[in-house]
């Protein structure tokens, strides 16, 4: 067969996870995912937060995901994508592959991150993570409410953490419990304590990973992240180790089934039509599920109570 398709339950992933390997196959063949909506279906009002990877910035991530943006705009007319830039401007030595002998001014490097990993601590610590969360909290407050979040690499890790933080009181209690179990565990971030924003309807993580160790347990455990999440993983990704990605997959799995899409590439956001169809179908699925729940709640409120 010239077009290979397989949908399988992979023993590497938890039983609540469905793994899709889409190598040139039409999304209409995939179980658990709806077919991409037509351009006639309205996406007016859908707002998506787009979080860039380490050493990138908002405009660069926008340029790299232009194909996705166009595809989603066609699928959901009126959809709005927001591309903030992380607050941490990186030093030349923080940027992989930077040539110090280059004639380029080191101070002109437009490379940013949401935090900087410190390997001098055990377990590793994410320096300036609170600054990154505060930047995102400000975007949520000023531009929200958002329906979902899409992130790449470090941005995918951040996307999962943001989705987690917006899950309400159960997540606050998870942080309290983690703090009671380990003095290293961080408290619920102050920038989100004062934020009023509803839970996200979906999260998409491209080449994501889980923050390691006891410090960040509150984001991921007791309970796991409940926001419906789709993971895109490159089989040739040499930047993010598979065990780190697996840890994030294991930490997601709410009421809706966690979905994992494998692609035969490396550390990037795949722009092939089948993968664009997949993300559009996932968003459609989650938005439709939320609309159905809202309709049920409205009908329940309108019912005559016989007492």
Mind telling me the catalytic residues?
153, 237, 267
The number of C-alpha atoms within 13 Å of 82 and in the hemisphere containing its C-beta is: 20
């Amino acid at each position: 067969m010239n077009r290979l398709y397989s949908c399988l339950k992979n023993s590497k992933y938890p039983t609540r996870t469905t793994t899709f390997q889409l190598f040139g196959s039409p999304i209409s063949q995939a179980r658990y995912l709806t077919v991409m909506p037509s351009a006639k279906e309205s996406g007016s009002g859908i707002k998506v937060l787009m979080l860039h990877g380490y050493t990138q910035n908002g405009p660069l991530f926008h340029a790299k995901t232009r194909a996705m943006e166009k595809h989603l705009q066609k699928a959901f007319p009126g959809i709005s994508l927001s591309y903030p830039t992380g607050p941490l401007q990186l030093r030349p030595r923080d940027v992989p592959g930077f040539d110090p002998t280059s004639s380029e001014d080191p101070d002109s490097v437009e490379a940013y991150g949401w935090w900087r990993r410190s390997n001098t601590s055990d377990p590793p610590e994410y320096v300036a993570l609170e600054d990154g969360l505060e930047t995102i909290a400000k975007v949520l407050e000023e531009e929200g409410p958002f329906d979902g979040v899409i992130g790449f690499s470090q941005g995918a890790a951040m996307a999962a953490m943001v989705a987690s933080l917006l899950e309400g009181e159960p997540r606050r209690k998870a942080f309290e419990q983690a703090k009671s179990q380990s003095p290293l565990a961080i408290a619920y971030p102050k920038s989100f304590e004062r934020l009023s924003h509803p839970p996200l309807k979906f999260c998409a993580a491209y080449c994501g990973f889980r923050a390691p160790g006891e410090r960040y347990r509150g984001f991921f455990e007791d309970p796991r992240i409940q926001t419906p999440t789709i993971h895109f993983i490159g089989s040739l990704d040499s930047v993010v180790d598979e065990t780190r990605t697996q840890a994030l997959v294991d930490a997601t799995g709410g009421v809706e089934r966690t979905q994992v899409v494998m692609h035969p590439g490396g550390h990037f956001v795949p722009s092939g039509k089948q993968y664009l169809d997949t993300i559009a179908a996932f968003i459609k699925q989650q938005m439709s599920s939320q609309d159905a729940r809202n309709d049920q709640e409205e009908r329940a409120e309108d019912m005559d109570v016989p007492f």
